[in-house]
Chain A
Amino acid sequence: MTIQDWTQNTEGLAYQACPACSAVWYFRRTFCPCCGDGAPQQRQAGGRGTVHALTLITRAPSEELRAFAPYVIALVDTDEGFRVMAHAEQDLRIGERVQCRFARIADRLVPRFEKTTS
């Protein structure tokens, strides 16, 4: 199965896991940052998680992003055990359960979390 990964312009959240020490992490590498093992696995995340932190950006960093402001940036703890930064719908609260969807912001595919009941 091909792993879908928004950083490769396909709709999905990918992460890595170490078969040797069971560590999981988000930022792609060719080795495990915990034990140094050289064969980490690419995995597909389900997209569910819990909101860890939130900010509403009013002052966007560039002209192309100003059209989208204000927008929410969140840190979400996924059920698989890694943390992800993403866009999110407004009026979320810390601790709330969310599901990852995808959106185009300033012509880029980005993850965007929305409320879910599960």
Chain B
Amino acid sequence: MSYITGIGLTPYGKHPGKSTLDLMSEAASAALADAQLTRKEVDGLICGYSTTFPHLMLSTVFVEHFGLDPVYAHGMQMGGATGFGMVMLAHHLIEAGVARNILVVAGENRLTGQTRDAAVQTLAQIGHPVYEVPLGPTIPAYYGLVASRYMHEFGTTEEDLAELAVLMRRHASMHPGAQFRDLVSVADVLASKPVAAPLKLLDCCPVSDGGAAFLISRERVNDFAVRIRGTGQAHTHQHVTAAPSLTQFGAAASMERAKSAAGVTNGDVRYLAIYDSFTITLTILLEELGLAPRGQAGGRARAGHFSHEGERPLNTHGGLLSYGHCGCGGAMAHLVETHLQMTGRAGARQVKDASVAMLHGDGGVLSSHVSLILARD
């Protein structure tokens, strides 16, 4: 058994002058304080990578910088799936008896630490260096390709996609740490600048600075412990050209593994934290995971199904689309919000029941999938 016993999160947006290590340290300090643990009690470290600080040994660098003395340290690289991937690894290390309290941390000055072109070009390198990148694609273009096919197959419209951007912005408007908090309408999303058709600027998550951290422990070291009930992964391809399908990715397979380990079904789930790099990403994941029928994720959002008072609240902090996306830390903010909701600490954003939560992250172009089931038991 393992528990998430502490969380730390910086605001996302601009943190001029702060480095990767600054943002990691800030989040890690907050997580330690939340868990009421000291550095000496941390005996494991797992950290994500940073594109602005691409060090070969980031976990060891952070051990030295932050002042740790762990029995296990490890840096992980799974794109957007890294945050939940680190939680999965921490869970198994705890269960295997390797460590007692593992710090999971990521941070990056992705917005202010480089030019916008540098960020766009670095991220486009998830594409194939010989067969894709020379053509001049971008991350939004890879997802624009996926969106065109998905919309063709299931009748999803640009308005349907926009509903999810509107929802995430509404949620972010209630969180002081969110990068974008001004409400937007479906018309605003449709009128936003074209990026990679059918995706427009407001269909895309921003680039952000920020950091996030968790403590994963063997014992319930405080009153805010949330149990990791089940975890799963799936990896079907790296490059969109080689994806076996543009309508069925590895998400469902990954989540089946997590649900099977947790002994829960979709009917048990009360709260959702789903990766939302683009509106099409969130649409596909909600539908592939069986949380909305094919073609109906946008309609369900419009009907209030995923709102705070709805049947299944989703990303109540605003998601990547509006809280922001700083790389590995991006989806970690989803888990921080889930933890606050599950422990009744979400303040004005508190939902009625978040006793069982489903979390899903993906990296690449819906390439690497990690699923988590958390429970307050």
Which stretch (A16-24, A37-45, A78-86) binds chain B? A78-86
A26 touches B241 (CB 8 A): yes
Pick from B131, B144, B147, B246: contact of A52, CB under 8 Å:
B246
Chain A residues lying within 8 Å of B196, measured Cβ to Cβ, are: 55-59
Chain A residues lying within 8 Å of B146, measured Cβ to Cβ, are: 53
Chain A residues lying within 8 Å of B149, measured Cβ to Cβ, are: 52-53, 75, 94
Among A27, A57, A61, A86: residue with most chain B CB under 10 A: A61
Q: Closest A residue to B131 by CB, please name it.
A: A27
CA distance A56 to B149 in the complex (A): 13
CA distance A85 to B128 in the complex (A): 10
B117 touches A63 (CB 8 A): yes
Check A57/B117 contact, CB under 8 A, given A26-B131, A85-B131: no
B152 proximal to A (CB < 8 A): yes
CA distance A106 to B39 in the complex (A): 52
Q: Closest B residue to A64 by CB, please name it.
A: B136
Chain B residues lying within 8 Å of A70, measured Cβ to Cβ, are: 194
Chain B residues lying within 8 Å of A65, measured Cβ to Cβ, are: 136
CA distance A30 to B179 in the complex (A): 47
Check A62/B136 contact, CB under 8 A, given A27-B242, A56-B197: yes
B34 proximal to A (CB < 8 A): no
Count residues of A near B (Cβ-Cβ below 8 Å). 35
Render B113-148 as a binary contact track against A, CB cut-off 8 A, 1 for contact: 000010011001000101110111110110011111
Q: Closest B residue to A58 by CB, please name it.
A: B194
A71 proximal to B (CB < 8 A): yes
Chain B residues lying within 8 Å of A63, measured Cβ to Cβ, are: 117
Pick from A56, A62, A85, A95: contact of B194, CB under 8 Å:
A56
Kindly identify, within residues 177 to 216 of chain B, every residue whose CB is under 8 Å from any CB belonging to chain A. 193-199
Q: How far is the CB of B134 from chain A (nearest CB, A)?
A: 5
B240 proximal to A (CB < 8 A): yes
Check A75/B241 contact, CB under 8 A, given A56-B196, A58-B197: yes
B148 touches A57 (CB 8 A): no
Pick from B134, B239, B246: contact of A108, CB under 8 Å:
B134
A85 touches B135 (CB 8 A): yes
CA distance A6 to B377 in the complex (A): 58
CA distance A110 to B197 in the complex (A): 21
CA distance A60 to B267 in the complex (A): 43
A57 touches B136 (CB 8 A): yes
Q: Closest B residue to A106 by CB, please name it.
A: B136
Check A73/B137 contact, CB under 8 A, given A55-B144, A61-B117, A85-B240: yes
CA distance A26 to B241 in the complex (A): 9
CA distance A57 to B132 in the complex (A): 14
B145 touches A73 (CB 8 A): yes
Q: Which residues of A contact B (CB under 8 A)?
A: 7, 25-28, 52-63, 65, 68, 70-71, 73-75, 83-87, 94-95, 105-106, 108, 110
Listed from nearest, the 3 A-B pairs whose CB atoms lie closest are A55-B144, A56-B197, A53-B149
Beyond contacts A57-B136, A57-B195, A85-B240: 14 other A-B pairs, Cβ-Cβ < 8 A, are A7-B131, A55-B145, A55-B199, A56-B144, A59-B194, A59-B196, A60-B138, A61-B117, A71-B136, A74-B145, A84-B241, A85-B131, A85-B241, A106-B136
A-B contacts, 22 listed (Cβ < 8 Å): A7-B131, A53-B246, A54-B197, A55-B141, A55-B148, A59-B120, A59-B138, A59-B140, A61-B120, A61-B124, A62-B136, A65-B136, A70-B194, A71-B136, A73-B136, A73-B141, A73-B144, A85-B128, A94-B152, A95-B152, A105-B135, A110-B134
